[in-house]
Every structure is written in structure tokens, then in C-alpha cells.
Structure 1
Amino acid sequence: QQAPRQASASHHDHSHGREGLILESWLNWLDKLVNECLDERGVLNLEALDKRFSFQAESGAMAAAGEKERGASGYAKLADKLWRAIDSGDVALAESMIESIDKDSMLTFGKYAIRSICEKDQALVQSAVNKKEFWKVVQLAHFGSVHQQALAAKEVQQLSSPQAPASSRDLVKRAEKDVTTINSILVPYQGGDVKRLAGLLRKGTPEQRVMAAQALNGLCGMGLSEKVAASLSNPATIREAVALLQKECDSPADKRGPPPQAASASAGASAGVGGSPLFKEW
């Protein structure tokens, strides 16, 4: 697998000074490395991933004098620092670190970067399980990165098994129901299906109606205002959408935290738009 040429003159010639192109190219390259471990269903094979990036056998460059020590410590530390820069939105710093790696060492560094983010994913999923934030586990299983989805899916399977406590199975089931509701809005939203969203605004469940209003409002900000207005030609429907949005903005849940029926976000209780952690993060 050839590493991207982030530091090449040709890349800078095409960037026209636009910040982020180097980082985008590098992240796309990492995705390609990880995607080589997908199975025929498009699901990440965790065993294949672990084997590919286990570092049990390194390339000739890593075996060279001095490089092994840097690979074991310098590359790992730099990878952690790079992800922190990305998380904080410091694109310039992230790109400077990427460009500091020479082309011959980029594949090795890329493997350390993948291992670093995989370790973070494992910690994230395990933390959610330990805190009994089962809604978070379900969320990662559906909406996380391809690696997070694979890790979380294994946990969801265990939490849903007959051997799991009934309370765990119930919380996972309710979270999965929330995901179904979210997808009923997310799919038409991503597809710009204003008509479908307008229909859910009128006749959907209480949760769907609020989220449909939010989605339609979002589409207005994406240049589809006229299309949305045409679908909501009835003034009463428009007033209802505005009222739903206003009510959601003024919800006591936003000011005082989750309502009593949500008990605790860590328990993953689903109690409507205000009480479901999944709906809040949608």
C-alpha cells in the first residue's frame, strides 16, 4: 500500500493554500488501510485488523538501526499527539506533523496512528459498558466509525443475549427503538426528501414530529427553503413546526437536565425527545 505524498511539491501546488487538504488526503488513506480488513458484508473483521496492525512483524525500515526505537516510542507519541490536534480542530498542527514524516516511514507511522485510534475506540466502548451507558453502546454500533461499530456491535450482542440481565436487554431494546426513530428522519434528511419529512411532521410520532421539524429547518439552511415552503404550504402546518421547534428550545430538560423518567443518562432510559440521550445527540 503506497503512502500518500503529503509533502510533495505537486500536492502543495494543487492545494492553493487551502488548509485541510493534506489532512483529508491522509485520513482517506488511513480509511483505505482499515477498509482492507472489511469482510464481504462490509463489516470490519476485528481479528484481521488486529493481525494487520499488531506490529508482531515490522518492515525492513523498522528493523533499521535507530528506527525501531523511534517506531516504538516516537511514532506512538506522535500519533497520539496528532489525534489530539485533530480532536481540538488544530488542522495546521496536524498537517505539520503529517508532513514531518518522510515518505518511506509513512506506512509505519500510519499503522501506529491506526493502532492509537483503535485503542481510543476500545476505551470509549468499554467506558460506556462499564458506566452502563447502553444507549451510547447502541449509538456507536449504528453511527460510530467502522471500528467503533464493530466493537460496539459485539457488546450489544452480549447485552441482548438471554444470559444478560433483563434490565440490560430492556435498555438495549429501547435504545434500538430510538435508533429506528432517528433513522426514519435521518434517511429522508440526508436524501433531501422534503415530502417525506413533511409527512412525518404531520402524522409521525411525537418524537418524529419534533425531529422532522428540526430536519426541515436544517434543510432550509442548505438551500432548500423554497422546496420546504412548498411542502408546508398550509400556514397551520408551518405554525405547528415553529411551535415544535420553540417548545424544544424552551424545554425544561435543556435547562434542568434529564427529566425524572430518564432517571439517568447512564441508564439509557428512553423517555421521549427530552429524555432519550440518543434523541438529544441526534
Structure 2
Amino acid sequence: MSAREVKELLRRHGVIAKKGYGQNFLVDARVLDGIVRAVEPDARTVVLEVGPGLGALTAALAERAKRVVAIEKDGSLRPVLDEVLAPHGNAEVVYDDCLKVDLRALVAPRLDEGDRLVFAANLPYYVTTPILFQVLESGLPVSRAVVMVQREVADRMVARPGGKDYGVLSVGVQYRGEVRRLFNVPPSAFMPQPGVDSAVVEIDCDKRPAMRAADEEALFRVVRAAFGTRRKTLENALAAGLGMPKEWVRQKVVAAGIDPGARAEQLSLADFVRLADEMEK
């Protein structure tokens, strides 16, 4: 869908892009094609999309996928999506707030045995992380996620230990799959143009790390506490963040084979899993 086509579609339906919803509509066919190729939709693929906007990606996916289930918060886009998706009977739009929807109850009944579930979205930048984890923690059998995010967020998603971008988001997504940046996207690919660069990131959930935490909630409590005060040593950050005695924390950190004087950004995902398991003993 070109910029001219988007303008005409919006004019015809009396719709304007809502800044409060982070609406920046994709108008670059090459970027659209790149996302579709990354999803690899086929006759056994069910796609969950959040924020379909004007339906350009939804329609492109529906041409090749078995089914597309899209969640759109902005009900004023209904006439636009009705028009764009009219040729695609396998595309369904649910008008609701993704963060308030029971995703498992919505999507699971639409999956048949042997289906492959992929999450694909041009995520609103102001709620990128909540939506991403809403999906990844839903209990749905997500095989892959292909998401457009702000470039700085992509930097954090793919960051490795030791760098300034490595943090809670890095550990959170890398625990759930193999993460890689596919390509960057300039502001000119959207209408209206955002004030930041974007990037498309893939999370291959079928290639998640073999090491799993005994208690995942405990793991991310530890991760959030460790990064809560990045300048502090690990033992000080954990003692403050978890409200536990410093000496007890030191003993647990040492028992996990980690230097208490290290800082959170020096720990690998495996280090965090060992540490969380040790702290739950």
C-alpha cells in the first residue's frame, strides 16, 4: 500500500492517524515483503497480529497463511479494515485492547493439530514491551515472533552481556528464543513518519535456550532486581531490590559460581538461571 493509496483510504473513510495510539502506517512494499518472508506463512500457519492498522500486513499474510487473527484497539479503523480485508475470508479482526484480552482463550480454539503459530506485528512504540511479553507469556505455542520495534529497543533485544544495552529486556526475550535483528527501517517507510528509526526483529521460540529456570517468576524477580541499580555490585543490587540481607545474598551468589562484586550486565542468561535457582533453595 503506497503513501498515495494510504492517503486516499484515510480520506475516503474520514480517518486520521492517532498519535496517542502510536499509529504510523507502513507504506514501503519492500519492508512489508521482508516481514512476510520472515514469517514464512503457509497453509499450516496461523498468525496472531497486534495493531493491524490499515491492514496492509494483515492482507499480505492472509494471502499465504491459513488464518490471521488480528487485534486492533482503534475501533474507528473498522470500515478501513472491512474494505482492505474483504477479499480475505481467513483474516479476522478482534476490536479490543491486546493487554486486556485473554490471548490463550482467543487464539487456542483457532489452532488445529499441526498448525504453526507465529506472532507478527508492527508494535506501537509506547507499549512495545508489555505487548511483546503479553504474547510470549500467554501460554500459547508461539513458534516465532517477527516484530517491528523502535531501533533502540531492537538494540536492547539483541544485546549481549557486557554492553550498555544489555538489560532486563535482553534477558527476557533471549530466555524465550533465539533473537536476531533482521533489518533496519527508516522513518520514510511510514506515514506519518515517526521521529525514530525502526527495526524488524525475529524471536525463534523453537530455538529457546535449553537451560530453564525452576521458577520463571523468581528468575525475573532476580533479573529486575539485579538491573534495578546498574551501578551497584550484584550483591548490593540484589539485597536492595529483593529486600534480603546482604550476607545471605552474597552466600547465594557465591554458591551459584558468580562473583558478588560483578555487575548485572556482566552476567549471562545461564548465570541468571543458576542464580535464581540457587536463591530459591
The structure having more radius of gyration, on CA atoms, is: 1
The TM-score normalised by the length of structure 2 is: 0.27
Higher strand share: 2
